[in-house]
A and B are shown apart, each in its own frame.
Chain A
Amino acid sequence: MTEPLLTINKLDAAYGPVQVLFGVDMEVYRGEIVAIIGPNGAGKSTVIKAVVGLLKSRSGQIVFDGRDIIRLPAHAVPRLGIGYVPQGRIVFSHMTVTDNLEMGAFLIKDREQRRRSVDAVFAQFPRLHERRQQAAGSLSGGEQQMLAIGRAMMLDPQLIILDEPSLGLSPKYVEQIFEQLEELKAQGRTLLMVEQNAARALTLSDRGYVLELGRNRFHDTGRALLADKAVRELYLGGR
């Protein structure tokens, strides 16, 4: 059996004195889409922040590609091959679309190579190409989210982590974002995502984890979780 690309092992995490994660376990294999769902405040974003190094106070193991990264500072994480799409479609609003993507490729010193990376993302998101000279702050919410995803893909990461990619978008853009995620899946990329739109996320995902109060609650294939009575009642609107 192959090793997982990402293993989270007995992860505890806290904000100051307040512990919010209690021994969380997760695995992500190459080529998989994995969803984390759960009620508000369950600790979904916290798991992600711990993995990418934004949360200092954590213990346990986070093994990526065979290496424990739990002590790594956040700015060293992209180099490993992890792309991060933060919650709330955060872009550098005063910079152009192109400059935002260039920031995603900050680690590439060679200008030509950076440009090739930008072009590759433009090929995937023609919409961004149309708006390349526009300030990112002037884009629509959906376009900003595409830009945030594009920025996370600039270094061609092995794993893309997305925190609530469809949150706060109009239905039309939610549709577009999920189409983009389908597209990433078709390309064989590895995705770990948190999503409040649990039904859609599980439909797309190979596997899912349900978190509650900072602990693992359920864990199964996306399809099995969708069919599970308890999960349906608790997290999928009870239908």
Chain B
Amino acid sequence: MHLLEPVLLLQFLVSGLLAGALYALLACGLNLVFGVMRVINLAHAELMLAGAFLTYVLYAWAGIHPLLAFFLVLPALFGAGFYLQRLVVERVVGKGELQSLLLTYGLSIILINTGLLIFASDFKAIPELQGALIVGDIAISKPRTAAALLAIALTLGVYHFLKHARLGKAIRAVAEHPDVAMLCGIDVVRMRMFTFGLAAAMAGAAGVMLTMIYSFSPETGADFILKCFAIIIIGGMGNFIGALYGGLLLGVAEIFVAGFVSSQWAEAVAYVLLILILLIRPTGLKGAADVT
């Protein structure tokens, strides 16, 4: 056994970060919605799959490359999220957890079954981007690298927006004190629509990336949403950047466990980390205080 060779460790680390970037992108959107309106969106992973299937349709029917589909899927999911908030989700804001969980659970079932009706339960994949880059002694998968770089860029971009843009600050104001935000002239309903649109667009982007690296079916969301819950608790509930750290951490931890122990155990890593964090630092890595 040569498991402790530095090259191998580096290979694990890189692969883990690449896998974690996708988790992070997905979990950040989920956490943003929670942070701003205290709604846990159980349909968040289905929004990702909506992005994935949209990418698939564009590829299969119009031959559009996934990386190009990105520019269509992002606005489409933003729009869908924007109006979903207005028509449906807004009704449960401030009504307590149970209502929002029931609503978004229903939403996820509707989306899954719509997906099954249209695409059946077969797995799809887009084998467009393939191969690996060899850097020194480690191999880096090309599609995973592309996906990870996009995911990180997008996540940091949204973070920067929340931190520094006038609209981003208004979103944080709505998250902390909606009443006072209103009396600053901020249309809080519109800000929440914008926020949900943004989160849906991030999920859609994760969907595009999903098509490049995994095969997926309308029921793939379940694995992801559970991991996302673990990630946002690990990173800090409602803290955007905490979910980035949490996602990367989970990606790395899974690869190491898969490498050193077994890939069955890798599936359990999220929950082991979750329990550890709850024992050591119940507010998560970044605390739960602020959206950013």
Contact = CB atoms under 8 A, between A and B. Distances in A.
Contacts, number: 63
Interface residues of A, number: 25
Contact of A151 (B179, B184, B186, B291): B184
Given A95-B169, A106-B170, A90 B186 contact: no
Interface string A76-97: 1111000010100010111100
A103 B289 contact: no
B185 to A, nearest CB: 4
B179 A54 contact: yes
Interface residues of B, number: 21
Interface in A13-40: none
A99 B169 contact: yes
Contacts of B188: 75
A52 interface: yes
B186 A106 contact: yes
Interface in A71-130: 73-79, 84, 86, 90, 92-95, 99, 102-104, 106-107
A52 B182 CA distance: 10
Nearest to A94: B290
B292 interface: yes
Contacts of B187: 75
B279 interface: no
Contacts of B292: 94
B253 interface: no
A94 B169 contact: no
Of A54, A73, A103, chain B has the most CB atoms within 10 Å of the CB of: A103
A107 B186 CA distance: 8
B280 to A, nearest CB: 24
A77 B180 CA distance: 12
A102 B183 contact: no
Contact of B173 (A77, A78, A92): A92
Contact of B186 (A75, A84, A86, A93): A75
Contacts of A92: 172-173, 176-177, 180
B166 A106 contact: yes
A118 to B, nearest CB: 13
A95 B172 contact: yes
Interface in A42-80: 52-54, 73-79
A74 B169 contact: no
Contact of B185 (A54, A90, A107): A107
A54 B182 contact: yes
Contacts of B179: 54, 74, 86
Interface string B276-291: 0000000000000111
A103 B181 contact: yes
5 contacts: A53-B182, A54-B183, A74-B183, A75-B182, A94-B290
Interface of A: 52-54, 73-79, 84, 86, 90, 92-95, 99, 102-104, 106-107, 151, 155
Interface of B: 166, 169-170, 172-173, 176-177, 179-188, 289-292
The 9 A-B pairs at the shortest CB distance, nearest first, are namely A94-B290, A74-B182, A78-B185, A107-B185, A84-B183, A75-B182, A75-B187, A103-B184, A106-B184
